């Protein structure tokens, strides 16, 4: 891995997080490095070959208030809508952690570079980008 300014414990937490598309028992749960057949099928159904799991919660992994996080989440929703991107709301959380789940979106058809730009716009440490083989990649931004 290349050098990063992100603390090792944060990177460990990001890798251990369940990235959940949806809010039901039929959710698709992504894990960095593990192919998701269900996401691959969803890509086919939506006519895309890539997408990204994005959040605006807790910039740089620093916990913010519920109000601040909700406002940032609404701004992310607006930014995705302005780009005309289809998305599924979800959340990211690390099983067994006390860190609260972070509301997120999975945006369809978002290139790796576009995903990075969104992550940087919302001052995030990382994004999870998924290419045509449906293997989520944790992309560190600092």
- The candidate with the shortest Cα–Cα distance to 125, out of 137, 112, 116, is 116
Position 24 confidence tier, pLDDT thresholds 50, 70, 90: confident
Question: Whole-structure pTM over 0.85, yes or no?
Answer: yes
For 114-136, write each residue's pLDDT tens digit: 999 999 999 999 999 999 999 99
- Mean pLDDT for 79-91 is 95
Band (pLDDT 50/70/90 cuts) for residue 2 is low
Work out the angle at residue 61's Cα, subtended by the Cα atoms of residues 99 and 54, and round it to the nearest 5 degrees: 95
Q: Delimit the domains of the chain by residue range.
A: 8-140
pLDDT score of 25 more than 80: no
Can you read off the two tokens belonging to residue 40?
């691959």
Query: Distance (Å, rounded) from C-alpha 11 to C-alpha 24?
Result: 27
Check residue 61 and report its DSSP letter. G
CB 126 within 8 A of CB 15: no
């Amino acid at each position: 891995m290349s050098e990063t300014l992100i603390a090792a414990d944060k990177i460990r937490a990001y890798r251990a997080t369940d990235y959940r598309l949806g809010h039901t028992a039929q959710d698709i749960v992504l894990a960095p490095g593990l192919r998701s057949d269900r996401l691959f099928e969803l890509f086919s159904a939506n006519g895309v070959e890539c997408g990204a799991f994005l959040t605006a919660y807790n910039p740089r992994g620093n916990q913010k208030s519920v109000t601040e996080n909700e406002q940032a989440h609404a701004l992310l929703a607006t930014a995705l809508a302005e780009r005309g991107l289809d998305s599924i709301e979800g959340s990211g959380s690390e099983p067994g952690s006390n860190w609260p789940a972070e509301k997120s979106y999975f945006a369809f058809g978002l290139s790796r570079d576009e995903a990075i730009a969104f992550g940087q716009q919302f001052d995030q440490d990382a994004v999870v980008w998924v290419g045509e083989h449906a293997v989520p990649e944790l992309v560190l931004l600092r």
